[in-house]
Structure 1
Amino acid sequence: MLAESVNINSGTMNLEGVRKTGELFRAEFEALGFETEWQDGAGFQRAGHLVARYAGADAGPKILLIGHLDTVFEPDSPFQRFAMLDDTLATGPGIADMKGGNVIMLQALAALRAVDALDQLDLTVVLTGDEELSGHPLNLSKKALVDAAAHADIAIGFENGDGDYRTANISRRGASDWTLRTTGKPSHSSQVFREDIGPGAIFEAARILHSFQADETLRGEQYLTFNPGRIVGGTTVTDNAADNSGTAFGKSNVVAESAFVNGDLRAVSREQLLRARQRMQQIVADNHPHTSATIEFEDGYPPMAPTDGNRKLLALYSRVSEDLGFGAVQAVNPLRAGAADVSFAADHVEMAIDGLGMSGSEGHTVEEKGNLESLPLQAKRAAVLLYRLAKP
């Protein structure tokens, strides 16, 4: 199952491949007695999502299980096939991120069915088709997740976390974008800095970026990061946000009239995100003479804060691991974990955890590897965790 799913190219924009991967997993959920639905993604320019439901007759807490079908490897990537590297290590596109996690989820559910414990659970599974490159608008792209979370008490994600089976995620930093635009007074370069000319748009953008980096409020916030990823400046500039490109025309002897910078902002809580945005706006507003600047923020993945409920769920999971002889499980440092779909669910449930998928390394590269020994280990831990959640 793992090899078969990895060998289907499901790069996010390969809509047919994502749907084909969804059909492969759909058949497995239906064989376990789940009712399934494919939610079409035309409204957000993606393939869509697989949703599977199982409401047992003696169901306990409502639990949401989260995975994704897509990978970062499109059909033009040279990385396309599953291959064994040795007895315990395999490679392939999306093996750890996160087709291995989807298989682990199925294995855990099959174990529960084998001991007639599935009927004690109320389960919703959402396997998204756009985790690696979210569709827009986000309120449509993530609606399946948010709707399922609103129905649930607990959310469990089967991403690969930081690649170490001894850890799990109880917090994830959100990821949002910002765009800075500056303007200056065009003039001959020999007059730059003159009282009635000023430094121009590029110097103003540089002032703001340097101030972001040097600001004690921003740099002093634990887990907060901000990064300018693209900058364009000159006499005239164009910005093609659709493909993250831009053009500039300018001469070395002309004071720049326009500049823009695109970047991202990552925070561990909504409160931290709002504080950072407010401070960035204050810095942007303190303009050099004869320049102006604006900054716009675009919401992306929300933060998943480390709540008491999440800590409680990690403690339960760690106890399961210890009882199985696999040792304790520690929380992943949020700096070592990117954004993930569980973040859209976390604010709607009492407890959330992520990182229960396949251990691996070098994700998002053509060297991606999966630790095959982690598949049965993680499946056992997930099965017993679900069993104990059904029987508190």
Structure 2
Amino acid sequence: MNFRKLPFDTDTMLAGLKPWIECESPTFDAAAVNRMMDLAAYDLAAAGAEIERIPGRMGYGGSVRARFPHRDFGKPGILISGHMDTVHPVGTLAKNPWRVEDGLCYGPGIQDMKGGNYVSLEAIRQLALAGVQTPLPVTVLFTPDEEIGTPSTRALIEMEARKNRYVLVPEPARPDGGAVTGRYAIARFNVRTSGRPSHAGWALKDGRSAIAAMARKIIEIEAMTGEDCTFSVGVIHAGQWVNCVSSSCDAEVLSMAKRQADLDHGVERMLALSGEENDVVIEVTRGVTRPVWEPDAGTMAVYELARGIAGEIGFELSHASAGGGSDGNFTGAMGIPTLDSIGVRGAGLHTLNEHIEIDSLVERAQLVAGLLTRLK
């Protein structure tokens, strides 16, 4: 059966996607993420999958692994890898509620990446309803912690990838609708300044402000940004009483580089910031890291297949390496042919304007169905 004849319906997909978006699932709220995994597990099971619930660890939510019936069940096939956590705290729906306006659909996490996850499921469901047997068995793995670097499920993703021939990642499409065939390297750091407390009113001079020291260090860190490696401070925690000179301050830093060697040099520069200045101790420790993923022949062969399928659907599928990490960094760096960002078109991810282009639901479902029926 030609994948273009599958009866994908925009209204049906919107109706199915809405409960996913209205189930808010910020990474740091394990219970909320698990509620989202419940919804996904039900929909995957209803589509015919055998479901495994994998408990969470390190304080994060659990994962869902779904394997679909196949004559070669258990043999290497296709892994669809997606995350169900978002950056939006519970309550964001009040600011960016589910709504359909002027060909767009809004909601927290709809672009990154629940929309892509849902259309992948819909592609599998429609193939099953049509009685179409894919050449390779299909496994879906939904995980809970991509937005913070995948600290608790990297090993799970990598082990699942090793058992398959191909990995598809339905992260949001690039701005021009294109796919991602490589990603830059990313490292995270934790920075702590430890000063000396004092009363901020009558003994200010006796204190050593950890906040002031961190402010100076932030300027220094962000000034290290260049063409080869970038540095940005995204999180700061400090202080409890305004009448006390702060004794500690914590910050989180993200660094990105196009080449692994540049990131390695950036790591050295960050770790070298540890020390003591003006009686304030600075400690820099390394957090989670995503390796650089450079496209190889296997990935490019999958892209060329996808480009041909896109042409049949009626659009041009470009490709590029991209900044911003995903779990494709891991599988691509392992040398497993990986095609990333084949999810929905949209804009505003990680903002209160996050939305998708409704017309891309059918387009992307057809793209995934085409890949599932032609990858061998």
| TM-score normalised to structure 2 length | 0.77
Aligned with residue 291 of structure 2, among 284, 297, 303 = 303
1:37-76 superposed matches below 5 A = 37-41=52-56, 43-54=57-68, 56-58=70-72, 61-76=76-91
How far off its partner does 1:284 sit? 6.5
Deviations 1:110-131 (A, max 9, x none): 2332454435222221111233
Q: Report the alpha carbon displacement of residue 26 of structure 1 after superposing the two structures with TM.
A: 1.7
For structure 1, list consecutive stretches of 5 or more residues without a partner in the other structure: 186-199, 232-243
* 8 Å contact kept, 2:186–2:325: yes
Give the CA deviation at 1:66.
1.2
Shift of the 112–257 alpha-carbon distance from structure 1 to 2, 3 Å rule, reads closer
- The CA deviation string for residues 89-137 of structure 1, in whole angstroms up to 9 with x for no partner, is 11122222222112210122123324544352222211112333467xx
Task: Report if the CA contact (8 A) 1:268-1:305 is conserved.
Answer: no
**Could you say which residue in structure 1 is the equivalent of 2:183?**
172
**Alignment deviations for residues 166-192 of structure 1 (CA, whole Å, 9 cap, x no partner):** x1112223432224567999xxxxxxx
Conserved 8 A contact 2:135-2:375: no
2:119 paired with 1:120: no
Q: Note the 1:15-34 alignment, pairs <5 A.
A: 15-34=30-49
> Would the aligned equivalents of 1:159 and 1:357 in 2 still touch at CA under 8 Å?
yes
Number of aligned positions between the proteins: 348
Work out whether residues 134 and 372 of structure 2, in 8 Å CA contact, stay in contact via their aligned partners in 1: no
The CA deviation at 1:204 is 8.8
**Matching residue within 215, 221, 228 for 2:233:** 228
Q: Secondary structure at the match of 1:120?
A: coil
The aligned counterpart of 1:234 is none
Give the % identical residues.
26
Q: CA offsets, 1:276-326, max 9 Å, x none?
A: 2234456778x99999865332224x1341221333322221122113222
Contact 1:7–1:80 (CA under 8 A) maintained in structure 2: no
Displacement after TM superposition at 1:372 (Å): 0.9
Structure 2 residue 170 is the aligned partner of structure 1 residue 158: yes
Map 1:56-135 to 2 at 5 A.
56-58=70-72, 61-77=76-92, 78-79=94-95, 81-86=97-102, 88-133=103-148
Residue equivalent to 2:254: 264
For residue 147 of structure 2, give the secondary structure of its aligned residue in structure 1.
Answer: coil
SS at structure 1 position matched to 2:168: strand
Q: Is the 8 A contact 1:61 1:389 kept in 2?
A: no
Displacement of 1:266: 1.6
After superposition, the Cα gap between the structure-2 partners of 1:277 and 1:373, relative to the gap in structure 1 and judged at 3 Å, is same
Aligned to 1:196: none
**Structure 2 spans left out of the alignment, 5+ residues:** 1-15, 197-208
What is the aligned partner in structure 2 of residue 144 from structure 1? Answer: 156
CA distance in 2: counterparts of 1:202 and 1:372, whole angstroms? 46
1:352/1:79 Cα in 2 relative to 1: closer, same or farther (>3 Å)?
A: same
SS state at 1:312 partner? helix
Give the structure 1 partner of residue 322 of structure 2.
334
Q: Which moved more, 1:23-32 or 1:94-103?
A: 23-32
CA-based RMSD of the aligned residues comes to 3.6
Task: Pick from 216, 220, 226 the counterpart of residue 219 of structure 1.
Answer: 226
CA contact (8 A) 1:101 1:356 kept: yes
CA contact (8 A) 1:180 1:261 kept: yes
2:311 counterpart residue number: 322
